[in-house]
Chain A
Amino acid sequence: MNFSFRSYLKRLRSTILGILIISILPALLFGTNTQLEQNVWEYSIGEIKYQVFPDIFDKYQYSMTIFFLALLTSLFAALVLTFFTTLLPRFLQRIIFGFLTLLESLPDLFIVVVLQFSIIYIYKTTGLLVANVSNVYNNPIYLLPILTLSILPTIQLFKITLLLMKEEQHKPYVTVARAMGLSRFYITLKHVFRNILTSLVQYSKTIFVFMLSNLFIVEYVFNLNGIMNVLLNTKGVAFMFTALMIAVPFSLLFEIAESNTVSINNQEEEDAA
Chain B
Amino acid sequence: MIMKLVRQPQFIIGVLFISFLLFFSFYWPVLLDVNKQESLKLMDFLYDKEGRIIDAAPFSPSQVPPVGTDLFGKNIFYQVIDGAKYTILIAIAIACLRILFSVGITLLNPRSSFSFLNDIVQATLYIPTAIIAYIFMSSLLMKHSMEPMSVMKLIVFQCAILIGIGVPPLISTFSREIKSILNKDHITNTFALGAKKPYVYYRHVLPELSTKLILLFAQQVIQTLILMAHLGVLAIFIGGSSTVVLGDIFTPIPVSIPIAGEWAGIIGMNFPKLKAAPWAILTPLAFFAVSIFALNLIIQGIQNCLETNKS
Contacts and interface: CB of A to CB of B under 8 A. Distances in A.
Contacts of A220: 233-234
A23 B127 CA distance: 11
Interface string A22-39: 110111011101010000
A117 B123 contact: no
B127 A107 contact: no
A31 to B, nearest CB: 6
A104 B300 CA distance: 12
Contact of B139 (A16, A30, A113): A30
Contacts of B288: 107, 109-110
B127 A22 contact: yes
A207 interface: no
Contacts of B293: 102, 105-106
A243 B123 contact: yes
Given A33-B142, A235-B135, A104 B296 contact: yes
> Range of interface residues on chain B?
35 or more
Interface in B50-67: none
A17 B119 CA distance: 6
Interface string A212-250: 110111001100000010011001000100010011001
Given A107-B229, A107-B292, A113 B234 contact: no
Given A30-B142, A33-B139, A113-B274, A213 B123 contact: no
A107 B230 CA distance: 10
Interface in A161-198: none
Interface residues of A, number: 52
B124 interface: yes
Secondary structure at chain A's binding surface: helix, strand, loop or mixed?
Answer: helix
Nearest to B290: A105
Nearest to A208: B125
Nearest to A234: B135
B116 interface: yes
B116 A105 contact: no
A212 B296 contact: no
Nearest to A243: B127
A125 interface: no
A18 B281 contact: no
A113 B296 CA distance: 22
Contacts of A101: 296, 300
Counting chain A CB atoms within 10 Å of each CB, the highest count among B123, B124, B126, B229 belongs to B126
Contacts of A246: 126-127
Nearest to B132: A22
B191 interface: no
A155 to B, nearest CB: 13
Interface string B134-166: 111001101100100000000000000000000
A11 interface: yes
B128 A109 contact: no
B229 A120 contact: no
A30 B234 contact: no
Interface string A86-98: 0000000000000
Interface string B275-298: 100100110011011001101100
B241 to A, nearest CB: 17
B85 to A, nearest CB: 20
Contacts of B119: 14-15, 17-18, 21
Interface in A1-59: 11, 14-19, 21-23, 25-27, 29-31, 33, 35
A213 B128 contact: yes
Contact of A247 (B115, B126, B281): B126
B105 interface: no
A131 interface: no
B130 interface: yes
19 contacts: A15-B122, A17-B123, A22-B120, A25-B136, A29-B136, A30-B142, A102-B293, A105-B292, A107-B288, A114-B282, A117-B278, A213-B128, A220-B233, A228-B131, A232-B131, A246-B126, A247-B123, A250-B126, A251-B122
Interface of A: 11, 14-19, 21-23, 25-27, 29-31, 33, 35, 101-102, 104-110, 113-114, 116-117, 120, 205, 209, 212-213, 215-217, 220-221, 228, 231-232, 235, 239, 243, 246-247, 250-251, 254
What 5 pairs across the A-B complex have the smallest Cβ distances?
A: A18-B123, A18-B119, A213-B128, A105-B293, A26-B139
